[in-house]
């Protein structure tokens, strides 16, 4: 199958020009002006942008968490992602405490075999237990299987939180195996005490979710993780940065040239702590962690994205239904499963309020949602760019298309939307994964199983185009 995308404005992290892209056998084979080549399908992209497919490095599909399971699996989750212009996601393959990493991977491979994703999928390993479950030796074998990032939670005490010994030993393994360490950075011990005190005092409304997780606990853990990674000598990626207290140590580390990167997520740019304070228990819809912060943090986050203090915008899509899952007993915030949805609307929101409002250039937009994620997580240059030999993961983007974000029109299984009612301008018109048209004119046209598992390269190494690997 060959595809010719004609006359679009091709924007990568580095370039911006009008041209044609010719796709053969799943990869980009030719880029030029007015290409005169026969193709099975021609897409007229005049007046449209042509971007590399977006990469979401932070999703939680069909994940057991908070006593329940996220309501999107790899069918609905990848479908919803595709409608938003995401063509690859890297999900967290979670080690259940007491079990091995091999069991975790078997479990997650079963999920993608069963669910037949429509976009490409990779896994980070979620390390929760090195005492009775996984071992350091086993952890060291994972990069050979294409699992080149180790994720640890410094919060969620009594559930998936690890101690500093586990964190530090994992960092040493990462140093030796070429993996990158990812941290959820909050001081889980301090938060646990503050939550218990609040609950004992009868403070159980959703707004107490934010009040019991002060920004300083995020700043402290971010700094601790940075310093420990420095001692161990491994690269570090701080996930879902939400506030200035956490931006500051990342800015300092990057200024010093250390191997430290940070991401924020769409919701932290648009939703503030007031969302938790709603009549009844509705604020529970916004119980995700770190919590929505005081509004002034949003400008700090935009500023950090503009200056490459933060290098990535992901979704942390962790969907639970309202009220079936998020509602719990309608009274106690501390029992609500933590997580919010957002896999479909990242590009809509960033384009409308980032690019159109002059906060981001189109190049920086592409870098934040695609290229930087490809580089950090061992997918580049197979993914994250439009270049001869790269996978033809491409979004033809209509910059004038208007829509109102709503749970009634998104494609996730979740029944509410964090950005409900927000009007956006700019949306995908056609989405291709390795040259296959997945979404066209608001229709899913993908064959089930169009997506594949991707084995990622080690940190700092390139993932060669597929043809070169098999040749």
CA–CA dist 134, 414 (Å, integer): 32
CA–CA dist 15, 75 (Å, integer): 33
- Strands 49-52, 2-11: pairing kind: parallel
Is residue 89 a contact point for ligand URP (CB under 6 A)?
no
Integer Rg of the chain from CA? 21
**Cβ proximity to ligand URP, 77 vs 339, nearer residue:** 339
**Cβ proximity to ligand URP, 152 vs 463, nearer residue:** 152
Whole-number minimum distance, CB 225 to ligand URP, in Å? 14
Binding residues for ligand URP restricted to 11-70, rule: CB under 6 A: 60
Backbone angles phi, psi at 183, to 5 degrees: -125, 140
Is residue 77 a contact point for ligand URP (CB under 6 A)?
no
**Cβ proximity to ligand URP, 85 vs 342, nearer residue:** 342
**Cβ proximity to ligand URP, 170 vs 436, nearer residue:** 170
DSSP code of residue 391: B
Tokens, residue 23: 């796709």
CA–CA dist 110, 381 (Å, integer): 28
Which residues, in sequence order, are bridge partners of residue 41? 3
Is residue 288 a contact point for ligand URP (CB under 6 A)?
yes
Place of tokens 């899913």: 444
Is residue 314 a contact point for ligand URP (CB under 6 A)?
no
**Cβ proximity to Zn ion, 159 vs 464, nearer residue:** 159
Determine the interface stretch with Zn ion among 106-114, 168-176, 311-319, 425-433 (rule: CB under 5 A).
311-319
Dihedral of CA 264/298/82/47: which sign? negative
State the binding string over 182-201 for Zn ion (x if CB under 5 A, else -). Answer: --x-----------------
Place of tokens 């590009």: 347
Is residue 338 a contact point for ligand URP (CB under 6 A)?
yes
Query: Of the candidates 91, 282, 316, 367, which one interacts with ligand URP according to CB under 6 A?
Result: 316
Whole-number minimum distance, CB 218 to ligand URP, in Å? 12
Tokens, residue 291: 């919590």
Is residue 459 a contact point for ligand URP (CB under 6 A)?
no
Query: Of the candidates 316, 344, 367, 391, which one interacts with Zn ion according to CB under 5 A?
Result: 316
CA–CA dist 410, 121 (Å, integer): 21
Secondary structure percentages of the chain, helix, strand, coil, to 5: 30, 25, 40
User: Which residue minimizes CB distance to Zn ion?
Assistant: 184
Residues at the interface with Zn ion (CB under 5 A): 184, 316
Residues at the interface with ligand URP (CB under 6 A): 60, 184, 288-289, 316, 318, 338-339
């Amino acid at each position: 199958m060959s595809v010719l995308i004609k006359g679009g404005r091709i924007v990568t992290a580095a370039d911006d020009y009008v041209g044609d892209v010719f796709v053969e056998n799943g990869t980009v084979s030719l880029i030029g002006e007015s290409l005169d080549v026969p193709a099975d399908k021609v897409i007229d992209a005049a007046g449209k942008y042509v971007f590399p497919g977006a990469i979401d490095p932070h999703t939680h599909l069909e994940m057991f968490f908070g006593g329940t399971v996220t309501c999107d699996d790899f069918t609905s989750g990848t479908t919803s992602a595709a409608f938003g212009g995401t063509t690859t996601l890297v999900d967290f393959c979670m080690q259940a405490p007491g079990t091995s990493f091999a069991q975790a991977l078997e479990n997650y491979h079963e999920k993608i075999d069963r669910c037949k994703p429509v976009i490409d999928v990779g896994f980070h390993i979620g390390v929760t237990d090195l005492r009775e479950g996984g071992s350091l030796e086993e952890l060291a074998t994972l990069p050979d299987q294409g699992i080149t990032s180790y994720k640890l939670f410094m919060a969620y005490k009594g559930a998936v939180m690890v101690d500093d010994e586990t964190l530090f030993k994992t960092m040493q393994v990462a140093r030796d195996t070429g993996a990158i360490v990812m941290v959820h950075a909050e001081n889980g011990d301090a938060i646990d005490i503050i939550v218990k005190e609040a609950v004992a005092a009868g403070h159980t409304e959703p707004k107490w979710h934010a009040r019991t997780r002060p920004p300083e606990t995020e700043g402290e853990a971010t700094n601790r993780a940075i310093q420990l990674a420095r001692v161990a000598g491994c690269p570090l990626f701080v996930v879902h940065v939400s506030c200035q207290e956490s931006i500051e140590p990342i800015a300092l580390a990057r200024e010093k040239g250390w191997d430290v990167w940070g991401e924020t997520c769409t919701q932290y740019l648009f939703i503030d702590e007031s969302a938790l304070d709603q009549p009844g228990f509705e604020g529970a819809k916004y119980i995700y962690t770190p919590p929505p912060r005081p509004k002034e943090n949003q400008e700090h986050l935009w500023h950090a994205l503009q200056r490459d203090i933060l290098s990535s915008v992901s979704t942390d899509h962790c969907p639970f239904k309202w009220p079936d899952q998020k509602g719990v007993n309608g009274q106690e915030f501390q029992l609500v499963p933590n997580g919010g949805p957002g896999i479909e609307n990242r590009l809509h929101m960033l384009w409308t309020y980032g690019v159109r409002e002059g906060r981001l250039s189109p190049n920086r937009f592409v870098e934040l949602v695609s290229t930087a994620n490809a580089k950090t997580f061992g997918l580049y240059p197979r993914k994250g760019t439009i270049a001869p030999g790269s996978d033809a993961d491409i979004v033809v983007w209509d910059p004038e298309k208007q829509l109102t974000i709503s749970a009634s029109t998104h494609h996730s299984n979740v029944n509410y939307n964090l950005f409900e009612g927000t009007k956006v301008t700019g949306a995908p018109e056609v989405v291709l994964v390795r040259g296959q048209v997945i979404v066209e004119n608001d229709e899913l046209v993908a064959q089930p199983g169009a997506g594949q598992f991707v084995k990622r390269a080690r940190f700092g190494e390139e993932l060669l185009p597929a043809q070169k690997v098999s040749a």
